């Protein structure tokens, strides 16, 4: 029983990582109706920028917020420069460009900062929470940050004009244009916000997994899984999905006999496909109804 509890909590801790990533993914999905495969790399690159700022002796919180700002601008610029000219291309062409972006960012990070691991400090310290040894202060802090961002997003979309415009632009670009929403700008804004959230995710994740150019590869996959399980149209669902994936993966790995350890990843993925088969738009997603 004690092992179960420990693994459950450890799963929540890793799930927190996935949940943060899932938030960034949902954010970009809301903006462009597609999954950005380079999201993880953008998060990683932002974290390296933060690391570099820290190397240049900036205090932590200054580096933290400056990085978020840089990431926001970066996301915005990437959208305008790289994707705007491709606005009318096939969706598959977009995905190939995401892949290209992935390759470029990963290669540049390796070139600038090489491939050995670097430690990244946590603002929450690394002591166990309440001296309990069940969950560390950083893990708890990460979950807290996730919830804060979730709340901010919720408020943004629900209660601000800009948020409303963004939702309109994503839901129905034609009509949105007709009422004066600058759709192009909304998309770029969405990119900027996704990049910013991604940078926070990176800075929260790096203290746990250590900073190096390949750190986000599998986290991105789990983040996708969490977002999809929870529903790509629901930020809250994505967060729950992320936690769920973390916990299930841990428990399956520990308790499924014989093959659990080796096929941890496969089991998690099978579960996701199973969820999707039963509920194609995720647990909390909205059913998309098409008019014939």
Partner 1 sequence: MTRSAPRLLPLAMLGLVVAWAGPALAQKKYDTGASDTEIKIGHIGPYSGPASAYGTIGKTIAAYFNKVNAEGGINGRKINFITYDDGYSPPKTVEQARKLVESDEVLLIFNSLGTAHNASIARYMNSKKVPQLFVATGATRFGDAANFPWTMGWQPNYQSEGRVYAKYVLQNHPNGKIGILYQNDDYGKDYLKGLKDAIGDKIKIVAELPYEATDPTIDSQIVSLRASGADIFFNVTTPKFAAQAIRKAAEIGWKPVHLLNSVSASIGSVLKPAGLENAKGVLTTSYLKDPTDPTWKDDPAAKAWAEFMQKYYPDGDRTSAFTVYGYLVAQTLEYVLKQCGNELTRENVMKHATNLKNVELGMLLPGIKLNTGPKDYFPLEQLQMARFNGENFEVFGPILAGDIGGGS
Partner 2 sequence: MNTRPFWISLVAAVGAAVVMVLPRRRLAALILVIAAASILPFTVKNFFVFQMTLVMVYTVAILGLNILTGFNGQFSLGHSAFYAVGAYTAAVLMEHGGVAYYWTLPVAGIVCFASGFLFGLPALRLEGIYLALATFALATATPQILKSTPLEHWTGGVQGIILNKPDAPFGLPLNPDQWLYFFTLAVALLMFIGAYNLVNSRSGRAMMAIRDNPIAARSMGIPVELYKSLTFGLSALYTGVAGALGALAIQFVAPDSFTFLLSIALFVGLVVGGVGSIAGTFFGGLFILFVPNIAEQVSKGLAGAVFGIILILVIYLMPSGLGGTIRLWLYRLLQGTR
Which parts of this chain interact with partner 2 (CB under 8 A)? Answer: 34-35, 82, 85-86, 89-90, 92-93, 95-97, 99-104, 106-108, 110-111, 221, 224-225, 228, 232, 259, 262-263, 265-266, 269-270, 272-273, 276-277, 280-281, 290, 292
Q: Indicate whether 213 belongs to the interface with partner 1 (CB under 8 A).
A: yes
Residue among 55, 100, 104, 262 that touches partner 1 (CB under 8 A): 262
Q: Which does 225 bind (CB under 5 to 8 A by kind): partner 1, partner 2, none?
A: partner 2
Least CB distance from residue 127 to partner 1, whole Å? 8
Neighbours of 105 (CB within 10 A): 20
Question: In whole angstroms, what is the distance from residue 216 CA to residue 220 CA?
Answer: 6
Q: Which does 280 bind (CB under 5 to 8 A by kind): partner 1, partner 2, none?
A: partner 2
Neighbours of 79 (CB within 10 A): 23
CB of 19 within 8 A of CB of 245? no
Query: Could you tell me which stretch among 62-70, 77-85, 202-210, 278-286 binds partner 1 (CB under 8 A)?
Result: 202-210
Residue among 12, 15, 17, 71 that touches partner 1 (CB under 8 A): 17
Q: Indicate whether 209 belongs to the interface with partner 1 (CB under 8 A).
A: yes
Q: Which two tokens stand for residue 129?
A: 């929470």
Q: Which does 52 bind (CB under 5 to 8 A by kind): partner 2, partner 1, none?
A: none
Select 30 or 122, whichever has its Cβ closest to partner 2: 30
Question: In whole angstroms, what is the distance from residue 84 CA to residue 97 CA?
Answer: 12
User: Which of 122, 161, 162, 159 is CA-nearest to residue 142?
Assistant: 122
Q: What is the sign, positive or negative, of the torsion defined by CA atoms of 214, 217, 220, 226?
A: negative
Least CB distance from residue 14 to partner 1, whole Å? 6
CB of 190 within 8 A of CB of 166? yes
Name residue 128's beta-bridge partners: 136
Least CB distance from residue 256 to partner 1, whole Å? 13
User: Angle at which helices 183-209 and 39-55 pack, to 10 degrees?
Assistant: 60
Least CB distance from residue 38 to partner 2, whole Å? 10
């Amino acid at each position: 029983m004690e092992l179960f509890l420990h693994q459950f909590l450890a799963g929540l801790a890793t799930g927190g990582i996935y949940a943060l990533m899932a938030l960034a993914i949902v954010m970009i999905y809301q903006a462009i109706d597609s999954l950005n495969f380079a999201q993880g790399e953008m998060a990683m690159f932002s974290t390296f920028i933060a690391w570099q700022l820290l190397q240049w002796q900036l205090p932590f919180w200054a580096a933290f917020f400056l990085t978020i700002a840089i990431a926001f601008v970066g996301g915005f610029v990437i959208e305008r420069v790289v994707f705007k000219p491709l606005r009318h291309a096939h969706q598959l062409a977009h995905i190939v460009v995401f892949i290209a972006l992935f390759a470029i960012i990963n290669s540049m990070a390796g070139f600038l900062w090489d491939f050995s691991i670097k430690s990244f400090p946590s603002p929450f310290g690394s002591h166990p929470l309440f001296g309990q040894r069940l969950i560390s202060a950083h893990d708890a802090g990460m979950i807290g940050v996730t919830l804060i961002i979730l709340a901010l997003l919720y408020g943004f979309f629900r209660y601000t004009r800009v948020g409303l415009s963004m939702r309109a632009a994503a839901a129905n670009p034609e009509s949105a244009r007709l009422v004066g929403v600058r759709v192009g700008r909304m998309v770029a804004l969405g990119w900027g916000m996704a990049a910013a959230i991604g940078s926070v995710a990176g800075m929260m994740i790096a203290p746990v997994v250590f900073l190096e150019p390949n750190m986000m590869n599998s986290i991105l996959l789990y983040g996708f899984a969490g977002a999809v399980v929870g529903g790509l149209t629901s930020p809250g669902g994505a967060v729950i999905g992320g936690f769920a994936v973390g916990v299930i993966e841990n428990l399956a790995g520990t308790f499924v006999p014989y093959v659990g350890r080796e096929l941890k990843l496969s089991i998690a993925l099978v579960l996701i496909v199973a969820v999707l088969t039963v509920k194609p738009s995720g647990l909390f997603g909205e059913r998309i109804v098409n008019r014939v």
